[in-house]
Structure 1
Amino acid sequence: MKRVRFDSDDMQNALASLSDDEIDNLMFGAIELDADGTILRYNLAESELTGRRPEDVIGRNFFNDVAPCTRSNEFSGRFFRGVETGEFNAVFEYVFDYEMAPTKVRILMIKSAVADTYWLLIKRKFLETTEGDEP
């Protein structure tokens, strides 16, 4: 099994060399979208994070149907500007909160190296607590 780090400098080529099973076994979420935001692949790590099964989300629009909390300039705006301009690579933090407990994540958006598709790679960030906060 190939090991891929979330912060790999050459993530496009790393993903291109992985089988579907290897993408499912990544330790972070991986969602492949077409230029309109339709979900083409949704790996098991992302399924476990969100509680949504791949078979229920593949073929649906990520921004409108699956994660409407991402319909913002910061997220979907960045995605569609990247698709339009061809300058797609971005890294940022976001909070997912649609039909799930608010979850802080780090997002890596990259264009596929071998197809006209786009990847959202998602790594859960653990919220820091201060003394007296509930765990």
Structure 2
Amino acid sequence: MTERLRFESDNIFNALADMDGEAMNSLPFGVIRLDREGTILEYNLTEGQLTGTDPRKVMGQNFFRDVAPCTVNPQFYGRFVEGLEKGELDTVFEYIFDHQMATERVKVHMRKSGGEDSVWILVKRL
């Protein structure tokens, strides 16, 4: 299933909800799932490799405050907050990560989870 699953797939978020950790770690792009406050609930191995972060060490931390403070700006965090306030969050944008790592240009797809009160963030290198 993960071989056919692409970053741009229409069904990507439904598939992620059914994946176990091993399948999620095999994806060729980063996967992060946050609660409404920004606490990390999922953080796959690919995202860890992209950022040089051990996924086990960031679980339970606040993504915006503790892990990626470079995202606390209108382009990233602002979209997260606005989308949660409106109850509609499904946005794709290009971004540059530069916190404690080499500058990395990425494409981000952020979407509120359908049945849960959480947000998926997909990250693909450009």
Fold conserved (TM > 0.5)? yes
TM bracket, shorter-chain basis: over 0.9
Question: C-alpha root-mean-square deviation of aligned residues, in Å?
Answer: 1.1
TM-score by length of 2: 0.94
Corresponding letter in the other structure for 2:86:
T
Segments ≥4 residues shifted beyond 6 Å = none
Do the aligned residues in 2 keep the contact of 1:92 with 1:106 (CA within 8 Å)?
A: yes
Q: Which moved more, 1:22-31 or 1:4-13?
A: 4-13
Largest Rg, 1 or 2: 1
1:74 matched to 2:75:
yes
Do the aligned residues in 2 keep the contact of 1:32 with 1:41 (CA within 8 Å)?
A: yes
Secondary structure at 2:101 match in 1: coil
Deviation at 1:14, TM superposition (A): 1.9
Deviations 1:64-90 (A, max 9, x none): 110000000010010011111111000
Secondary structure at 1:77 match in 2: helix
Higher strand share: 2
- In 1, the alpha carbon distance for the partners of 2:122 and 2:26 equals 13
Q: Name the residue aligned to 1:9.
A: 10
Q: Name the residue aligned to 2:33.
A: 32
TM-score by length of 1: 0.88
Corresponding letter in the other structure for 1:2:
T
Deviation at 1:109, TM superposition (A): 0.3
Do the aligned residues in 1 keep the contact of 2:2 with 2:27 (CA within 8 Å)?
A: no
Secondary structure at 1:82 match in 2: helix
Secondary structure at 2:13 match in 1: helix
Equivalences for residues 1-135 of structure 1 within 5 A: 1-3=1-3, 4-125=5-126
